[in-house]
Amino acid sequence: MKKLGVLVLATTLFTSAAVFAAPSGPSGFDGADGFAYSGAPRGFDTADVGTVAGVKKNAKDDQFVTLTGRLVNYLGHERYEFADNTGTIEVELDDDYNWSQISKGELIQIQGKVDRDFLSTTLEVYRARPVSEAPVAP
C-alpha cells in the first residue's frame, strides 16, 4: 500500500511540474485559434489617449500616458490642475521629486499613470519636462 501511495504522489508531482513549466506566449495578441497568449508585454490593445479628453474617456486604471499641456491651477497638497486644448484633469506631483524645472502656465510634457476611481480620473505624474512648442497633431 505504501508503494502505491508513493507512486501516486510521484506521478502527481511530475505531471503538475510539466504543466506549470509549459511555455507561455505574449498577451494581447490573439492567435488564429482565438486564444490570447500570456507572458509578454501588455498594453497594445489600449486606445490612444494622448489628450486629457482621451484619458478621461478611454484610459484604463494604471495605464501609463504622455500628455502635453500646462499646469494652470494649484489645488492643494501635491495636486494641480493640468490643461490641454481638450480639457482639464487633476494631476499629482509627488513632493518627493524636484519639479523646479517646470513653471505655472509653461507648456510641458508629462508622463504618468492613470488613477481611475468611481467618480474621478486623476494622473500620478512621474516625469515632467518643458517643451519649446506644441507638437503637431498627426
Instruction: Parse the chain into domains and list their residue ranges.
Output: 1-44, 52-130
Quote the CA–CA distance of 114 and 121 in Å, as a whole number.
7
Say what the alpha-carbon torsion angle 47, 52, 55, 57 is, to the nearest 10 degrees.
-90
Q: Which CATH architecture has domain 52-130?
A: Beta Barrel (2.40)
30-56 average pLDDT score = 63
Q: Which grid coordinates belong to 109?
A: 510634457
Q: What type of residue is 125?
A: V
Query: Over 90: is that where the pLDDT of 128 sits?
Result: yes
Enter the pTM of the model.
0.62
CA 85 to chain centre: 22
The tens digit of pLDDT for each residue in 60-113 reads 999 999 999 999 999 998 999 999 999 999 999 998 899 999 999 999 999 999
